[in-house]
Amino acid sequence: MMTVHHLENSRSQRVLWLLEELGLPYRVTRYARDPWTLRAPPELVAVHPLGKAPVITDGATVVAETGAIVAYLTGLASERLVPEHGSEARRRYVYWSHYAEGSAMPPLLLKLVFGRLAPSSPWPLRPLVRRIADTVVRGFVDPDLRRHAAFWETELAGQPYFCGADFTAADILMSFPLEAFAARGTGAGPRVRDWLARIHARPAYQRALQQGGPYAYA
């Protein structure tokens, strides 16, 4: 049976959710973050050299990177939750599957890192570091995030899911950046809030929460 190496409060929640949606058997090994650095514990390096979550092991096969794991798992499930080849929904599926980690996550991560700069600096430097960090966030990161948030609103206009009428695995990939964005209270729009409410109400999402333990974004 495959094992999901799951880090608390992390992207790997999406893999548990997908497995629940697909009804594939799995077991979970949970890892806690370091409370101060928030890094994954060194045990994860024994599973994959980058030491990040998610990673799945399926016999001798090790698959890392959420998008690659989603492709592996939907492949095992006869492409359920993946739109048909050649359709407009499939074109959108490929786009959103890459966008989630490639475009949406970087500004969210920058916001997280710059937010931690001042608190983790030696105290005499803190006011200066805070000013620099705030300048970068206000001048560069926040405008980018506002642009992404407006884009999500436009893309969800007139259709309930990112690829169209049907829920797909691309919605699962999009969940973490949108949850992280909404959790920061940085202005999620009405369509994103509605989409979040609908995905959170899915029974498979709720079952995945039971499997994963602490998750601050639901």
Which parts of this chain interact with ligand GSH (CB under 6 A)?
A: 7, 10-11, 39-40, 52-54, 65-66, 101
At its nearest, how many Å lie between ligand GSH and the CB of residue 26?
A: 17
Burial 39-71 (b: 16+ CB within 10 A, else e): ebeeebeebbeebbbbbbeeeeeebbbbeebbb
Q: Which amino acid is at 2?
A: M
Cα separation, 91 vs 100, whole angstroms: 15
Q: Specify the residue, 54 or 83, whose C-beta has the smaller distance to ligand GSH.
A: 54
The residue among 101 and 153 lying less far from ligand GSH, judged by its C-beta, is 101
Least Å from the CB of residue 161 to ligand GSH: 20
C-beta of 94: minimal distance to ligand GSH in Å?
16
Least Å from the CB of residue 167 to ligand GSH: 20
Nearer to ligand GSH, 39 or 146 (CB): 39
Output 37 or 78, the one with its CB closest to ligand GSH. 37
| Comparison of 39 and 147: residue with beta carbon closer to ligand GSH | 39
CB closer to ligand GSH out of 11 and 111:
11
Least distance (Å) between residue 188 CB and ligand GSH: 19
Q: Which of 73, 93, 63 is nearest to 174 (CA)?
A: 93
In the complex, the smallest distance separating the C-beta of residue 101 from ligand GSH, rounded to whole angstroms, is 4
